[in-house]
Amino acid sequence: MLRRRAELLSVLLIAVAVLTRFGAHLSMDSAIIEHDWYTMHGIDAVHVQQAFQEGKWMPSWSPSVLGGSPLWGVSTKPFSYPPFLLAVWTLGAYAAMNVLLLLHVFLGAVGSLLLAKRLNLKGLAPLFCGLLFVLARFPSSGFQATPYGFGYAITWWPFFLIALLDLLEDRGTVSASLRLALFAALPWHAGGQPSLYWLACFSVVFALLILKGCWSQVHVGKLAGGGLLVLLAFLGLIAVKLLPEVAWLDSSGRGIPLGMELSRDSALEEELLRNGSFGRLHNLGLVLTQQYAGAGGWVLTLGSLLALARVNRSRTLWATAAATLFVFALASGALHELAYEWLPGYDRMRRHSRFVHMVGFGWILLAAHGLQFQLKSLRAWTGATCLVLLVFADTSQLPGIGSRPEPALRSSTEQRELYGQMIAPARQDPRIGRLQQAHRAQSSWAEWHLEGSGGALGGPNSGNPLYHQFLPEHLNSQVLQAEHSGALDVMNVRYLISAEPIVGEGLQLVSRPGALPPTTYQRLRELDLQPLFVYNRETARARVCTVSSPVLLVGEETLRREHILSALQSKSHRAQSQVFVECPTTDIDALATDWAEDFPKILFVGSGPQDEHLIDWAKRASAGELRADKRGTLWLAQDQSPTQVTCVEDSRHSKDMHSIQVNVQDLNARLLLLSERTTLDPGWAATIDGVPANMLRADGLVTMLRLPAGARIVRLQYTAPGRSIGLWISCITSLLIAMAAFQLRSLQSRRAALDSGELDCTV
């Protein structure tokens, strides 16, 4: 009874710690902390809510983030995380964020308590382990100051290590393997792939030290079998997200390594880079000393020293210490450059400084080894009470506690009022649909169904290689991504298709951005480019246009691209009078003659005027003539008219989280041009009045469709590649795991009954 009361008291104290550290999130008026990543995932929640209102269980894509790229595969998005989806569906976007944060911090702290017990730590050690998980500087900051999915992922770290210990110590190979797969899959679905890498690096060293001296042929065989089961179950559970993610990474180019010089963009990393490997380790220690001031540093140091001074040092103590030192070296960058290239899809979140979350977690476990105070006397109770008070006192300067100022909190209503005036022009003018914005305004804009170009593409080496070919020479993707601007969205919708710079009378400035890195700000000043504005330039094409008399390019893909690139980079290029469309076939014999009706100019790149196949096609086509061109042969129809791009009013255009729709009734046009990159990402399909239609690529990136006579509705639908088969695999895997868990539970019950003599096994 006394032990049960002690456990209940520990859980209550952890709840108090959660309220002390994160109590501001109790507001059901949707109070949120004004941090970039927290706000960005608030937008994710808005998108999930909107998709649910549209009858979908999650968004597949959104022009409001990453400029229209599919979001299913983005590693930092929790769009397949069941708790996230369920909370948004039932509580709404902002209240769900608050509830999820409090719940995950609490679960992570309780998991840390259970992990300490699993490590055979006695007395108050489990309680301190749970309290420090909440109140120490790291990893609790992962719930607010990093991509929000990392916080969800951190919650499951203790449970992952418990299952890992059970597997290593041969406490039910099948059960431990399935639990390990589950607690690895949950972080993946939460958008915490990078944090899963951090945990994996820690776990490898931890496991090697735990297994030292315990190898045997039987044990190795069980571990190998258990590891294979973990891998299969893990891949099965994440298939619903993994398969679309792989397709998206491949098509977007986001999996391309950045290079360390581009992955460093934090003050911590800049500080660490001033010296060599040893200097980095030393600098990180100094930086953490400053960051842990008033954030549990004294308690962690005291506990660690007591742990190292203990006479009976356990294997788990040395395993924890070695793993913590290893991830400390990774966090300093001393080893990170050697490791990150081997991590597929690690992407922009590969910053080595983020390993400090794992350092903090390991430090908590290390300190807990030294805080094993037994409550066997009044003196012990008095000392324990003082130590608990010291934990809270030592964290009194955390944000929201004690002397530091309260974090900036605003409700969703206040946010709408705050940004309402700023974006009033965009809301009043139906021609303005997309905005380039700072992070903190995006959630309100998403609620108003305004589109934005925010999204971290990952640097100049990420993104589909095609749009990097078409970047104007006087701008680079780093500048276009200032303040997380989506370079692709900027180019497709309002920039690439016009040779004019992003300045001038047509540019309507809404507001200036917040603080930018000095080098970025200087580049923007030199280019006279404002990162926060509404794109409404007369020289750029509209979102939807009709086109007459464009040029069709037939030939090898490389030759077509060279011609388009040369034309777009020419100073004489005009978006309203020049459009280049790529023919999907390279075989002249297979080119239907009806193409000549829509394209009075057809350039057969790389083909000479004496080409027999070309001559035969020209004879079958309508009246026209062949002329030699410097890049091939040009076919000209007898009746020539200049190319003309005509804007289609925005009222005819609509979109949801899964599709784009355009009303083309009464347009009397044969060709429709959309400033969308749907031809670059696999998963997009077009229909015209419900009949499948082929999408053509215009000007290297954007989308064109041929409209039959009497066409009314054009619809472009996105389905994440591999989603259906991935969903089946994940569902079947989940069912098999549930059945296995039920069988294991039944087997354990039978064994317990046998041991107690309640079950008669005699025949």
Same domain? 159 vs 273: yes
Q: What residues pair up with 70 in beta bridges, in sequence order? A: 61
When mean pLDDT is compared across 160-174, 285-299, 396-410, the lowest value belongs to 396-410
Same domain? 381 vs 525: no
Same domain? 199 vs 173: yes
Where residue 627 sits, what CATH number does that domain have? 3.40.190
Mean pLDDT, residues 365-373: 87
Same domain? 431 vs 385: no
- The pLDDT score that the predictor gives to residue 431 is 47
When mean pLDDT is compared across 85-89, 529-533, 668-672, the lowest value belongs to 529-533
pLDDT in tens, 590-636: 888 888 888 889 899 988 878 888 888 888 877 778 888 888 888 88
| Entry pTM | 0.83
**DSSP states of 526-592:** HHT--SSEE---TTS--SEEEEESPEEEES-HHHHHHHHHHHHHSTT--TTT--EEE-S---GGGS-
Same domain? 343 vs 424: no
pLDDT in tens, 428-448: 654 444 444 444 555 666 676
pLDDT in tens, 151-189: 889 999 999 999 999 999 888 889 999 999 999 999 988
For the chain, the domain total comes to 4
- The pLDDT score that the predictor gives to residue 553 is 93
Same domain? 520 vs 573: no
pLDDT in tens, 111-130: 999 999 999 988 888 988 99
Whether the predicted pLDDT of 463 surpasses 90: no
Within a domain: 76: yes
Same domain? 156 vs 183: yes
Same domain? 680 vs 633: no
Mean pLDDT, residues 576-599: 85
Three-class DSSP category at 508: strand
pLDDT winner (highest mean) among 161-165, 250-254, 333-337: 161-165
Confidence of residue 385 (pLDDT cuts 50, 70, 90): confident
Question: Which residue, 534, 567, 586, sits at the end of a domain?
Answer: 534
Same domain? 308 vs 361: yes
Asked if residue 135 lies in contact with residue 51, where contact means CB atoms within 8 angstroms, the answer is no
**DSSP states of 7-18:** HHHHHHHHHHHH
* Domain, as residue range, for 626: 550-642
Give the Cα separation of 220 and 214 in Å (integer).
9
Within a domain: 492: yes
Within a domain: 539: no
- The pLDDT score that the predictor gives to residue 266 is 64
Same domain? 356 vs 381: yes
∠ CA 489-457-99 to the nearest 5 degrees? 100
Asked if residue 588 lies in contact with residue 605, where contact means CB atoms within 8 angstroms, the answer is no
- The pLDDT score that the predictor gives to residue 243 is 86
Number of Cβ within 10 Å of residue 134's Cβ equals 28
Within a domain: 758: no
Same domain? 520 vs 575: no
Same domain? 323 vs 360: yes
